[in-house]
Structure 1
Amino acid sequence: MKKRPLWEELGLPPPAKKPAAKAATANPEREEAATAQLRTNCTRTIKTALCSETAHQTQDTDAAGVEATGGEDEGDTPDVTGLAEDIEAALFHHHGSKPGPEYKAAARLLVASLKRNADLRGQVVSGAVDPAALVAMDSRQLATSQQQQEFAHLKDKALQRVTVVGSGASGTLTTEYACKKCGGNNCNYIESGRRDIGKSETWGSKEGATTNRVVTCLGCGHRWEVGLFE
């Protein structure tokens, strides 16, 4: 026999039912406002990067090599507000029109690159590189000419030190590793000919033997070795 509840045995009224907990609902207006604020901040930082020192030092010349005259005095910083807005819009669209982690990371990389790369800034301000092409560039393409030369030097130096196995002289592209210097994961690797033989192999076992893999970050040129257990 089913036991009656205590309140019924005592002749009391049933207890009031607890209201169901309200499920958390998204607030579209708040999310839209947060996205708008994020994009505004991104546009502002892009504009600041475009106005960095030497950003406006490129000069337009006509076909005869005569300097073109404009409404601004020499040395004045051009108004790049519209350009910054176009770049942010292209960046937002390039990342699926969502203010997610990829959009934020790409914005940080782009701003840092524009600040340190005077040649790139000049090309963007002059219109030689349009916003759509700019936001599609990877970290290697955004690097300064000096950094690109360093990348090439490090790559050549690495190729001279190791024996390439199977994948050809250019190495194998991978996103398996993360660079500790710049955080990028666009890398390539080549297998070295050196092997670290564990003590166990000395006694007839190959357990513990490793081969070394030389990994190079394509973003900043940082190079490191990774031991692979066989």
Structure 2
Amino acid sequence: METITSPIPGPSRSDSVSSDSGVVYFDPSIPGEARVPPTGDTVRDRCRELLAKAMLKGFENVTIEEEIKFHNLTAEIEDCVFKEFRDTGNKYKQRIRSRVSNLGDLKNPSLRHNVMSGTISTSKIATMTTEEMASDAMKKLRKKLTKEAIRDSQIAMQGGTETDLLKCSKCGSRKCTYTQAQTRSADEPMTTFAYCLTCGHRWKVRW
């Protein structure tokens, strides 16, 4: 569980009532101001609240001042997304949803820390892809799966025995070939790969 032991760096600008970007900031010195800076738009305000909730996940003993800084950062993120799409339509909502999902992932604390420390700017996190935001563990898994997919594809295309016992799920053709390879431990069954000679579709055969 993450625990904040020192003040979190605030936005690059000073905490003030307003800024040139249009994001409203709240002064941490004012009691009771620990809330998300509002926009006056119900959808945008709700999205800011969701982002703030995601950013706060996993943290304990957060002071009012620190929470305000969380909120100001998430307000900047939402503002960047809104300025890109200029409305709160589906693209805007999808972008916000993916930020909320990744920032709130307890298995990806480095993403939150990088945003809060300024290593990742609010404008950057507003546009990062899902792959870019993923945790190191997820990136390694995706890399592994990609390598396996490439390997399987190469094996399936290496000749093979022609058969009419297999049916392509893409085009329905029975003009296929199959090959077998040991892709797991030696004491496990070999993996069968099929290749459709009609449309080029490749797949693993489940017997």
- Tell me how far apart the structure 2 counterparts of residues 195 and 107 of structure 1 sit (CA, whole Å): 50
SS of alignment partner, residue 98 of structure 1: coil
Distance 1:200 1:45, change over 3 A: closer
Q: Which amino acid aligns with 1:90?
A: C
The offset of 1:106, in angstroms, is 1.2
Contact 1:54 / 1:118 at 8 angstroms: preserved in 2?
A: no
Contact 1:113 / 1:142 at 8 angstroms: preserved in 2?
A: yes
2:126: which partner in 1?
135
For each residue in 1:79-134, what CA deviation from the matched residue of structure 2 results, as whole angstroms up to 9, or x when unmatched? Answer: 3111111100001122x212111111111111010011210100101111111111
1:183: which partner in 2?
none
Q: Which amino acid aligns with 1:39?
A: R
- Tell me how far apart the structure 2 counterparts of residues 159 and 132 of structure 1 sit (CA, whole Å): 34
- Tell me how far apart the structure 2 counterparts of residues 156 and 89 of structure 1 sit (CA, whole Å): 38
2:154: which partner in 1?
163
SS of alignment partner, residue 137 of structure 1: coil
TM-score under structure 2 length normalisation = 0.54
The offset of 1:158, in angstroms, is 2.4
For each residue in 1:136-167, what CA deviation from the matched residue of structure 2 results, as whole angstroms up to 9, or x when unmatched? Answer: 11110011110001111112222333318xxx
The answer to whether 1:153 aligns with 2:144 is: yes
Q: Which amino acid aligns with 1:136?
A: T
Q: Which amino acid aligns with 1:161?
A: D
- Tell me how far apart the structure 2 counterparts of residues 105 and 226 of structure 1 sit (CA, whole Å): 37
1:46: which partner in 2?
51
TM-score under structure 1 length normalisation = 0.49
- Tell me how far apart the structure 1 counterparts of residues 118 and 146 of structure 2 sit (CA, whole Å): 32
The answer to whether 1:104 aligns with 2:70 is: no
SS of alignment partner, residue 162 of structure 1: helix
The offset of 1:192, in angstroms, is 4.7
Q: Which amino acid aligns with 2:77?
A: I
For each residue in 1:150-195, what CA deviation from the matched residue of structure 2 results, as whole angstroms up to 9, or x when unmatched? Answer: 111112222333318xxxxxxxxxxxxxxxxxxxxxxxxxx85568
Unaligned runs of 5+ residues in structure 2 are: 1-39, 179-192, 200-207
RMSD: 3.7
- Tell me how far apart the structure 1 counterparts of residues 57 and 139 of structure 2 sit (CA, whole Å): 21
Give the alignment partner of residue 115 of structure 2, picking from 98, 113, 124.
Answer: 124
Unaligned runs of 5+ residues in structure 1 are: 1-34, 58-71, 165-190, 213-224
- Tell me how far apart the structure 2 counterparts of residues 149 and 103 of structure 1 sit (CA, whole Å): 29
2:79: which partner in 1?
89
- Tell me how far apart the structure 1 counterparts of residues 162 and 61 of structure 2 sit (CA, whole Å): 54
2:3: which partner in 1?
none
For this pair of structures, how many residues does the alignment match?
137
Distance 1:97 1:159, change over 3 A: same
Among all aligned residue pairs of Structure 1 and Structure 2, give the percentage whose two residues are the same amino acid.
18
Contact 1:140 / 1:148 at 8 angstroms: preserved in 2?
A: yes
SS of alignment partner, residue 69 of structure 2: coil
- Tell me how far apart the structure 2 counterparts of residues 142 and 127 of structure 1 sit (CA, whole Å): 15
- Tell me how far apart the structure 2 counterparts of residues 91 and 56 of structure 1 sit (CA, whole Å): 30
